[in-house]
Amino acid sequence: MARVFGLKRFRFYENGVVGLNLPISEQVVGTRATRTTHPQVVSGFAELFSLVTEESFAVENPFLWLTKAGVVDLIGDAGCSHLIQHSVSCMHTHEQTVDQPHCGRCSQCVSRRFGTLASRYPLSDPDNLYRVELLTGERLKEKDFTLVESFIRFATDIGSMNVSQVVERYGEVGRVLRHIPGLSADEVAERIGELHRRHSREVTRVLDEAIGVYATEIRERRLPLTCAIMLAVSGSHPEGTQPESSDNQTPSRSNGDSRRTKKPSGAATSEPSSRGRRADVEGNVKIADVLKSFGNDWRKHLAEVCEALEHKATFIRTRKWKQLGCGDWSDVLAADQEGLVKALQHRLDWVAKHPGAGV
Ligand SMILES: [Zn+2]
């Protein structure tokens, strides 16, 4: 096609983590084994097209050294963040509906959701478009929660590896080293290490922030054991060793496949427990009330929002904010504005999903 238009170059766009697609675990390699945008394939295409056209033909992926969050930031910075919610990368096309185009369970959905949450434009990818919400949604099938757990473990582990450890651990890296035009093998290895450390920072930051926001729910065991937050905190339990759960949140292995994931049943749909919950509900409702009083523009008035929160709502002590030395809302405003917006939005979302809360 490019040839018809007299072009000598073909470009496609895939973030490097998915393009390189290092195996995140042996169990899920089959579901994530696509190598269609792998540099070796790309350079093979370039060679093939050059032979066919009898002149030098380039095939390029300009996003090779970007993470998913990096791509989302690029789109947002170009003034196109409103387009993000109209894009779909879900592999389970047969499950798509107009209201919920993302299954939330496949590797593309998990990677996309971590990417948008880690980006500077998390609100451009509304969580109600996902059939199973990443952070708090329950996953009933073992392959689904194994995927999320492996994704998290991969991101966590690779973040602390140096380049030689990455090359040693992932032999696949060797297949990339000679296929990036203009870069030496050492330079390619360095970039692969740096790309994955960035990926690690992004994924773990999303989880650390969520763990802070849902600290009470985690302590009170009100989140499904197979949501990303709980998988990050404790991992899944090997067959037969999972603790009995009184509120039936542990996935049933015997009839797991016969149960349908119609909608996520996170804390949102679990039965209210008697003690402890009230304080948290009150906290969420108070925060939401303050935000609502500022209307949809609350993000533009963060200083006033914090001022109002000081008077009306208990301060949320997340681990991150403690580490930053924040003692009240205005400290957070100064130290972690982005985290503040996300945390407040989480509470607002929680109240929206619990119309009866606080009544
Ligand atoms: Zn999907």
C-alpha 310 to ligand 1 mean position (Å): 40
Region 192-205: what's the mean pLDDT?
Answer: 96
> How far apart (Å, rounded) are the C-alpha atoms in residues 39 and 179?
6
| Angle made by CA atoms 227, 231, 237, in degrees to the nearest 5 | 110
C-alpha 94 to ligand 1 mean position (Å): 10
Token pair for 237: 């339990």
pLDDT score, position 339: 87
Domain definitions of the chain by residue range: 66-219, 275-359
The alpha carbon torsion through 156, 162, 163, 164 (nearest 10 deg) reads -110
In 3-state terms, what secondary structure has residue 59? strand
Measure Cα distances from 99 to 127, 144, 281 in Å: 11, 22, 28
| Sequence-separated (6 or more) residues with CB below 8 Å from residue 280 | 216, 217
C-alpha 241 to ligand 1 mean position (Å): 29
> How does the average pLDDT of the chain come out, rounded?
81
Sign of CA dihedral 250, 255, 259, 261: positive
Query: Is residue 275 pLDDT above 70, yes or no?
Result: no
C-alpha 102 to ligand 1 mean position (Å): 5
Token pair for 1: 């096609």
pLDDT score, position 1: 64
C-alpha 51 to ligand 1 mean position (Å): 37
pLDDT score, position 33: 53
C-alpha 89 to ligand 1 mean position (Å): 7
C-alpha 18 to ligand 1 mean position (Å): 15
> How far apart (Å, rounded) are the C-alpha atoms in residues 22 and 331?
40
Grade residue 65 by pLDDT with cuts at 50, 70 and 90.
very high
